[in-house]
């Protein structure tokens, strides 16, 4: 049929499509009463089958799969594409197909890891190492590993397999144990240390750490950070070492708060008691004959109480407890201890026990009274023994033996 030919209504034509195209409906066309063909589109482009699956890669369909379209091939990271990067759907004979076959994605490989002196790696004896694999190095004693212990096979420019870094080195690095006066190694104690070994340091009581408490051995055989020092704690007012002590004296009319006037330097750097700690001494020592004071010292401060205890065979005449007042006098007046006969002792003891406020005081009074009687009895026995010895030394003579005859 040539272009421009006309047909009458009812005419039926049979047609065929060019290579790469297919019929839309049937292979016949009919001219209807309106002088129009039953449909306008006769042939459309054929479509290629899906190219398939690319192992360790992917296929990207840029438009569709009909004749003239194309697909693109890429490989996953670490894999090298062997073959074409694209393929087109084209007419092949009476049908259609892809211009190029599927490529292959091959894993990229690295050469054997480098060998190091005085050490080895635990990667096996393979000639080639695939992408993503790694090896770990270790050193022979007493060498220390310097650098990254593990290296991995990686890809450069999507095609070349290389190791992630240079291999480490094995060096003989030894740090000596640091000498820190008044310092203590809390953890990591050993005679010598190798690269990256660390120790923790603290100070003895009364000293404070100046510097870092955690240090480690560096490749240059030095400690980093620098070795700390232990210094006396000067945060308070002490100018002495921990547990040092001083004695101090108070001005006349005052006496030290501590019994012996001593103050010690504590761990916090402060004197305890605080120096000088002198309190006002407003009362002198009470004079008690035949008795003792509960607190024996030369001076007493305001509101301080003293209790008088009489010797055995003596009783307290007056109050037993007196208080130092702000006018430098004792109140009530200082009592005295007077000797009493045995009967008077019993009477006085009865009166005393009646006045005592607690069973404990009564017991103490009875013990003292018993002790006084025992002492008196011992004195009598001692005197008796003395008289016996005198008689034995100078015996009495009969009157007839006392004189010698005259002729």
pLDDT for 142-159, tens place per residue? 788 888 999 999 999 888
Average pLDDT over residues 86-107: 93
The pLDDT value recorded for residue 347 is 52
Query: Which backbone phi and psi does 214 adopt, to 5 degrees?
Result: -120, 120
Cross-strand partners of 65: none
The pLDDT value recorded for residue 341 is 66
Q: Which residue has the higher pLDDT, 339 or 191?
A: 339
Is this structure's pTM higher than 0.75? no
Query: Which backbone phi and psi does 400 adopt, to 5 degrees?
Result: -75, -25
Average pLDDT over residues 65-76: 94
Confidence of residue 282 (pLDDT cuts 50, 70, 90): confident
Do the Cβ atoms of 353 and 340 come closer than 8 Å? no
**ω into residue 142 within 30 of 0, thus cis?**
yes
Q: What distance in Å separates the CA atoms of residue 309 and residue 321, rounded to the nearest whole number? A: 9
pLDDT tens digit sequence for 25-65 = 777 778 888 878 777 677 889 999 999 999 999 999 998 99
Handedness of CA 375, 378, 383, 389 (dihedral sign): negative
Mean pLDDT of the residues in the chain:
81
pLDDT tens digit sequence for 172-226 = 878 888 999 999 998 888 878 888 889 999 998 878 889 999 999 887 888 999 9
The pLDDT value recorded for residue 73 is 96
Confidence of residue 234 (pLDDT cuts 50, 70, 90): low
**ω into residue 3 within 30 of 0, thus cis?**
no
Asked whether residue 139 carries a pLDDT value surpassing 80, the answer given is: yes
Q: Are strands 254-256 and 229-232 parallel, antiparallel or unpaired?
A: unpaired
């Amino acid at each position: 049929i040539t272009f421009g030919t006309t047909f009458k209504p009812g005419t039926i034509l049979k047609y065929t499509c060019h290579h790469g195209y297919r019929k839309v409906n049937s292979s016949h066309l009919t001219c209807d009463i309106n002088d129009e063909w039953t449909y306008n589109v006769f042939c459309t482009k054929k479509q290629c089958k899906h190219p398939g699956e690319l192992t360790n890669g992917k296929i990207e369909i840029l438009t569709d799969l009909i004749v003239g379209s194309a697909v693109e091939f890429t490989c996953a990271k670490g894999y090298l594409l062997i073959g074409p990067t694209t393929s087109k759907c084209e007419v092949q004979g009476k049908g259609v197909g892809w211009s190029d076959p599927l490529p292959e994605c091959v894993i990229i490989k690295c050469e054997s890891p480098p060998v190091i002196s005085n050490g080895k790696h635990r990667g096996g004896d393979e000639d080639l190492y695939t992408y993503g694999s790694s090896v770990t190095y270790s050193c022979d004693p007493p060498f220390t590993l310097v650098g990254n212990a593990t290296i991995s096979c990686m890809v450069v420019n999507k095609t070349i397999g290389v190791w992630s870094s240079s291999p480490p080195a094995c060096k003989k690095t030894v740090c000596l144990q640091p000498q820190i006066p008044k310092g203590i190694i809390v953890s990591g104690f050993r005679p010598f240390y190798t690269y990256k070994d660390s120790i923790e340091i603290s100070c003895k009581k009364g000293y404070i750490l100046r510097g870092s408490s955690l240090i480690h051995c560096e490749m240059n055989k030095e400690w980093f950070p620098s070795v700390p020092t232990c210094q006396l704690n000067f945060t308070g007012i002490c100018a002495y070492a921990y547990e040092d002590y001083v004695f101090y004296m108070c001005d006349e009319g005052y006496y030290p708060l501590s019994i012996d006037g001593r103050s010690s330097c504590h761990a916090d750097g402060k004197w305890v008691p605080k120096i000088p700690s002198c309190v006002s001494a407003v009362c002198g020592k009470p004079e008690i004959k035949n008795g003792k004071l509960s607190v024996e010292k030369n001076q007493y401060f305001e509101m301080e109480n003293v209790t008088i205890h009489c010797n055995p065979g003596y009783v307290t005449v007056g109050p037993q407890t007196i208080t130092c007042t702000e006018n430098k006098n004792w109140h009530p007046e200082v009592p005295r201890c007077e000797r009493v006969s045995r009967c008077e002792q019993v009477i006085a003891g009865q009166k005393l026990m009646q006045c005592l406020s607690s069973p404990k005081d009564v017991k103490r009074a009875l013990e003292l009274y018993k002790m006084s009687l025992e002492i008196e009895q011992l004195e009598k026995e001692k005197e008796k023994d003395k008289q016996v010895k005198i008689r034995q030394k100078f015996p009495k003579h009969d009157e007839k033996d006392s004189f010698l005859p005259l002729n």
